[in-house]
């Protein structure tokens, strides 16, 4: 199967078989995720991704972010407070937890009475 870069159509490499969601590492340097597969034409299209096999945690982010490929879930608020998840882009499994911080705001309503004093000497 011939593999092309989705954005440009550039031919990248050839491998026997791929499936949508597979991650390929080319020359031990660039990672690609398979996005489209044309079985009849024996070609597939990939997107280059950042991928860390030895991922580290992502802390205090605004959305759930895959620690392996940095894919950001823009619908994070729809998920439970805590859970295990399979990344929709790279297929890696990771745990997440929603952390809520509390802040306070104030709005003026009525100022306190002030005793005005004028010294004459
Ligand atoms: Zn991922």
Domain count, the chain: 2
**Separation of alpha carbons 107 and 114, rounded Å:** 20
Q: Is 21 exposed, middle or buried (0-12, 13-18, 19+ CB in 10 A)?
A: middle
The alpha carbon of 51 and the centre of ligand 1 are apart by a number of angstroms equal to 8
1: burial class by Cβ within 10 Å (0-12, 13-18, 19+)?
middle
- 120: in domain: no
Q: Which domain holds residue 2?
A: 1-49
Q: What is the pTM of this model?
A: 0.73
Is 119 among the domain residues? no
Number of neighbours of residue 80 by Cβ within 10 angstroms: 9
CA 88 / ligand 1 centre spacing (Å):
7
Q: What is the pLDDT along the chain (121 residues), one digit of tens a residue?
A: 999 999 999 999 999 999 999 999 999 999 999 999 999 999 999 999 999 999 999 999 999 999 999 999 999 999 999 999 999 999 999 999 999 999 999 999 999 999 999 998 7
Q: Which residues have beta carbons under 5 A from ligand 1 (an ion)?
A: 66, 68-69, 71, 87, 89-90, 92
Q: Find the 80 Cα to ligand 1 centroid distance in Å.
A: 19
């Amino acid at each position: 199967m011939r593999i092309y870069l989705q954005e440009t159509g550039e031919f990248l490499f050839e491998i026997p078989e791929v499936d949508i969601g597979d991650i390929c590492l080319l020359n031990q340097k660039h990672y690609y995720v398979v996005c489209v597969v044309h079985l009849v034409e024996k070609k597939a299209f990939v997107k280059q991704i950042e991928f860390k096999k030895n991922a580290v945690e992502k802390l205090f982010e605004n959305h759930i972010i895959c620690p392996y490929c940095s894919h950001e879930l823009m619908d994070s608020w729809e998920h439970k407070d805590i859970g295990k998840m399979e990344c929709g882009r790279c297929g890696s499994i990771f745990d997440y937890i929603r952390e809520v911080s509390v802040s306070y705001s104030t709005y003026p309503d009525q100022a306190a009475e002030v005793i005005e004093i004028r010294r004459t000497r």
